[in-house]
Amino acid sequence: MFKLGIVGAGIIGRDHSAAILRNEDCELVAVCDTVLERAEEIAAAHKAKSFTDYKEMCEQVELDAVILNLPHFLHHDVTVYFLEKGVNVLVEKPMAMSVEECDSMIAAAEKSGAKLAVGHVQRYYSAYEEIKKIKESGKLGELKMITEVRNVNYLPGRPKWFLDKKLSGGGIVMNYGAHTIDKIMYVSGEKVVEATSYLSNPLSDDNVEINAQILLKFTGDITATVTYCGCPDTRAYETVFYFTNGMAKSAGGSDFCVFENNQWVNYGGTTDLLYDQLVEFVKFLKGEESNIVMPEYGREVIAAIEKIYAE
């Protein structure tokens, strides 16, 4: 039984804790958040201890691994802290705010021998597994292009740190881009070599973009266009993969669809992402083969995001 800790008991921290409750290979023994009530609320359901200081948590509780759900500017420092203490880490996406930070995290893992993985959770939508199988089987020919449109009313209710570049590293591209790049890299097996982008924020004075149009060139002669619109009343989420002999897509993020006989056929999909990711993380901790994201891959995602912002 692996003893887990959570640092950051906000929106996604709560979801991770619910996944841990259902997994028989691990138990949540400690929760930390600078807002004590958030830590206590999660801890109560697990009979875990609560903390406001992650260093204190690490000193007082024996931990096999921690799941870090923190504002992006903290990913590097808190990851390195736990790795140096010999505690394995699953850090939420994006791995960090720069390639330089990723390199330092990878070096810390190598030096300490503790394991590091990155929470690129959307690859666990079954749609991407199915589209990856289509790609690898050659059933629809060669994968050539991808289009993703993801629209959401980005500003209301969003934790404030997401809208301050110093704390988040960027806006909708840093946040959703980490998912998009992972999903395309995962399905295609390729990586970003060039990016052109137009980023804007027409609605607020926050120093991050909420709208983006991006053109990406991947190795393997694959291109992608990505549109994020963070304005109200624009909801959409669709990622289409264009092959030389057909199309497949994920709709609404999760559903697996194939274009057959001149119409989209929806085969549905599974959505238990954080649980599925936890199962892979546990395999990784056990030293078994696992589909969890390795830090070198997480670094490649950040390298792509840096290319988009460099434009």
Ligand X SMILES: NC(=O)c1ccc[n+]([C@@H]2O[C@H](COP(=O)([O-])OP(=O)(O)OC[C@H]3O[C@@H](n4cnc5c(N)ncnc54)[C@H](O)[C@@H]3O)[C@@H](O)[C@H]2O)c1
Enumerate binding residues for ligand X (CB under 6 A): 7-13, 32-35, 38, 54, 69-72, 74, 92-93, 119, 121, 159, 175
CB of 132 to ligand X, least distance (A): 19
Smaller CB separation from ligand X, 45 or 145: 45
* Burial category of 263 from C-beta neighbours within 10 Å (exposed 0-12, middle 13-18, buried 19 and up): exposed
Smaller CB separation from ligand X, 14 or 217: 14
Smaller CB separation from ligand X, 134 or 278: 278
CA–CA separation, 9 vs 163, rounded Å?
19
Q: Is residue 307 a contact partner of residue 296, using CB atoms and an 8 Å limit?
A: no
CB of 162 to ligand X, least distance (A): 7
In this chain, which residue has its C-beta nearest to ligand X? 10
CB of 258 to ligand X, least distance (A): 25
Smaller CB separation from ligand X, 178 or 258: 178
- In this structure, is the dihedral angle defined by the CA atoms of residues 106, 17, 121 and 293, taken in order, positive or negative? positive
Helix or strand or coil: residue 80? helix
Q: Is residue 167 a contact partner of residue 71, using CB atoms and an 8 Å limit?
A: yes
Pairing of β 263-266 and β 255-260: antiparallel
Buried b (16+ CB within 10 A) or exposed e, 183-203: bbbbbbebbbeebebebebee
CA–CA separation, 146 vs 155, rounded Å?
27
Smaller CB separation from ligand X, 82 or 243: 82
Smaller CB separation from ligand X, 134 or 304: 304
Q: Is residue 31 a contact partner of residue 9, using CB atoms and an 8 Å limit?
A: yes
* DSSP state string for 111-128: HH---EEEE-GGGGSHHH
Smaller CB separation from ligand X, 70 or 304: 70
Backbone φ and ψ for 296, nearest 5 degrees, come out as -65, -35
CB of 77 to ligand X, least distance (A): 9
CB of 32 to ligand X, least distance (A): 5
CB of 215 to ligand X, least distance (A): 24
CB of 174 to ligand X, least distance (A): 8
CB of 52 to ligand X, least distance (A): 7
Smaller CB separation from ligand X, 79 or 88: 79
Smaller CB separation from ligand X, 67 or 257: 67
CB of 116 to ligand X, least distance (A): 15
Helix or strand or coil: residue 250? strand
Query: Which CA distances in Å does 287 have to 28, 79, 201, 278, 291?
Result: 20, 20, 45, 14, 12
For 132, half-sphere exposure in the C-beta direction (CA atoms, 13 angstrom radius) is 16
Backbone φ and ψ for 116, nearest 5 degrees, come out as -130, 130
